[in-house]
Structure 1
């Protein structure tokens, strides 16, 4: 029989994703057939699976940690926020529609069957499944019809380990408070807890552990410090971007406007890992830095809305000045669409039907179309003549005279566009910066030596590092029982 454990958080962004990834790699390194699973995820960072569906990129990372191919069943419900109140709903890899928050609460009970079916699929032939919750089970106002936390745990009879983030403060209250608000049957699913993101002398928290035990009766399975290796892993969602420093002092500055609906921003992680590059995320109210040599417009879940936000910030004027100073711009997916003359949404895919003016930096026009392109791709940079691997995940068809100068070839067909002077370019291909050869050639064009790091191998090594740390830090009795 397949064993399973579920990590739920006392809140969002407590570090569950990394802990699940680390435990998956630890189990895989010990010879177990292990798989990750997340019943419901909310993220605009998506990955394409081999069967042509989409899942959260966090589950893609966890599948890499488990050394198993990513599957749509690892994340059967994916919510992709399109506005402050509504999200696109993806079930078992396919878009089934959009829903506002209150409407989705009514829809959740109908999705439990698909979630349990996917859990059965993921569990088949596995020794262990490590499940990640979403948000917190303490959000008892959302408990009715829940499929993300205790609703799933109870339906699938999977024991729960709570994760508390001590770095944000109040971890004792968050754990004790969670115990207090859970109903008795939900509370009975909790087998213990982990403390995450600890700084300093762990023995100073001994009294804290004793206090939590007195109030809850739950055992502590370990106190995990800030894991250095975790910083080398792709971040799950844009919450992490808000906490990033604006960059480091380095010879080359690359600026990235932090769009409200930024998507698939882990495209940029390989550049952030370059020691000679200062990758600056430009927040609302800030100007694009005048010393930036390259600006990257990232992907977006709501291209037209993000284009309007870009203009509201005045970043369109900053981009025009950047070009006049001799700077370069690369647009990825939605960012590529923004660079053109117009974006037409006749079917109202992103809201009311409308046609808006683009930035006019590329001679292209985009028409939104209801059919979503989802595929993993092999490609080639035409500028640098190097091989690329990546994926496409977009709505819309783009055409225009600058498309006669494509940026890349994807599976033998031209994609993207380059301006006549070569200063502005864009593509629908995600993942091109992960190519060490492409990064090396790109940075060399700015007089910077880079691309020496095998980025994909460095991510794999970081997963091993996290696994080794967890093996050292967690309660060996609990860990040995889990991985037996």
Structure 2
């Protein structure tokens, strides 16, 4: 089990790289994360949903994603509330305090999922959540040491040296854990190192003096990690932009932004600058396209968008003749009205005006749509991806669908074609659609690299990178191989 000294230290990508590395060596490998908190989710082959990072790890293992790989998924829709997904299906809503009382009762389901995966695997690579040092949350824990103890797992700590304080993070984590949990830790990895690793050599003696733990590797910075799906929105704050490129796409960074890896294929285009606009800054006036992304809380994020003045920026953007595309929650925002009769997102009976640039309305429903989908866009270009939503959208502009999925119309286009939206996540991963859509913004541009082969190549290079910098023999021994 890989546990972190903090959130966003790179556990997910280290796990994905190790999944690919050991899979290439002929082992049956499966990823597992007992509890995840993320609005970046993926549809599974068995009709559920799991964290996007676990879907990437499954891909690294060359197996389809399954609900058992992430049996508890927490999808925040406010600072203190979240949708709880158990076994791949929506369980209900829970506040932070409610979940602390609930989580211990979820351990049997988590252990059962772990056992089912273990029955078909030579190696299970387990990813912790957040920090192993969160001893204030230890009662009933199923995310870190609570699960490691219940499943009797050896643990490797991961620290991120790029953010600073790696020595203190490792020693401090060790210091706050009780002796029986310390005994589970077999070593540590220092991740995201820049510069000369020999400069860190004296630190190894300091860490060993305080903990007795061996270093299992110092992993240099892997720049291509930015092109792989991120675990959660924490990565967006540090995602670099690309100013000065001829094609500019702006995306407002909404508080409950979801499934934002929809944007990854755009970020990889060499002539495209993707601007994730933070709160407090206006949407750029020179953007060729504004994308309203998915949202876990469409009504709340729409109110936030208006409070930021982004609705005014969007109106000016359209007056200049530019275009707007909405995906899932962003599509819902573009319509005339959003209603929530059952209280799916908040108080029952809520009804708010949308932005009104598409002649459609959305009604939230109790049943969540979860499915892989494929088809064509309105010009016949192939598309594929997945749907994950609790809204049903209808109206005159829906008679001009953006895509046809498995024979069903989905999405809508305005009469002039400058405003469009749909429910299909992964739209831009379809190379012909992406190339054709972007060429309408900048005619004559060269097509970018094929997206899916690129992800496969990055996973292979990540595995090679880890093979060069980790003590694999020692890791294999720790895992009992």
TM over 0.5: yes
Q: Once the 2 structures are TM-superposed, how far is the Cα of residue 475 of structure 1 from its aligned partner?
A: 1.6
Aligned 1:162-181 pairs, distance under 5 A: 162-181=157-176
Partner of 2:372: 376
Q: Once the 2 structures are TM-superposed, how far is the Cα of residue 50 of structure 1 from its aligned partner?
A: 1.0
Aligned 1:7-26 pairs, distance under 5 A: 7-26=2-21
Partner of 2:242: 247
- Provide the rounded CA distance (Å) in 1 between the counterparts of 2:112 and 2:461: 33
Aligned 1:341-420 pairs, distance under 5 A: 341-353=336-348, 354-382=350-378, 384-420=379-415
The 1:66–1:259 alpha-carbon spacing in structure 2 relative to 1, beyond 3 Å, is same
1:191 to 2:186 alignment: yes
Contact 1:137/1:143 (CA < 8 Å) preserved in 2? no
Unaligned runs of 5+ in 1: 1-5
Aligned Cα RMSD in Å? 1.0
1:130 to 2:125 alignment: yes
Aligned 1:386-465 pairs, distance under 5 A: 386-446=381-441, 447=443, 449-465=445-461
Partner of 2:286: 291
Q: Once the 2 structures are TM-superposed, how far is the Cα of residue 247 of structure 1 from its aligned partner?
A: 2.9
1:154 to 2:128 alignment: no
TM-score between both structures, scaled by the size of structure 1? 0.97
Runs of 4+ in 1 over 4 A off after TM superposition: none
- Provide the rounded CA distance (Å) in 2 between the counterparts of 1:135 and 1:162: 12
Contact 2:226/2:239 (CA < 8 Å) preserved in 1? no
Q: Summarize deviations over 1:364-399 as a string: whole Å, max 9, x none.
A: 1111111100000112111x3111111000011111
Contact 1:9/1:135 (CA < 8 Å) preserved in 2? yes
Q: Summarize deviations over 1:80-108 as a string: whole Å, max 9, x none.
A: 00110011110010111111111101001
Aligned 1:18-417 pairs, distance under 5 A: 18-353=13-348, 354-382=350-378, 384-417=379-412
- Provide the rounded CA distance (Å) in 2 between the counterparts of 1:124 and 1:60: 19
Contact 1:27/1:483 (CA < 8 Å) preserved in 2? no
- Provide the rounded CA distance (Å) in 1 between the counterparts of 2:189 and 2:153: 17
Q: Pick which of 222-231 and 68-77 moved more.
A: 222-231
Q: Pick which of 12-21 and 471-480 moved more.
A: 471-480
TM-score between both structures, scaled by the size of structure 2? 0.98
- Provide the rounded CA distance (Å) in 2 between the counterparts of 1:56 and 1:69: 13
Q: Once the 2 structures are TM-superposed, how far is the Cα of residue 476 of structure 1 from its aligned partner?
A: 4.1
Unaligned runs of 5+ in 2: none
Contact 1:274/1:450 (CA < 8 Å) preserved in 2? no
Q: Summarize deviations over 1:17-54 as a string: whole Å, max 9, x none.
A: 00000000000111110000000000001100011100
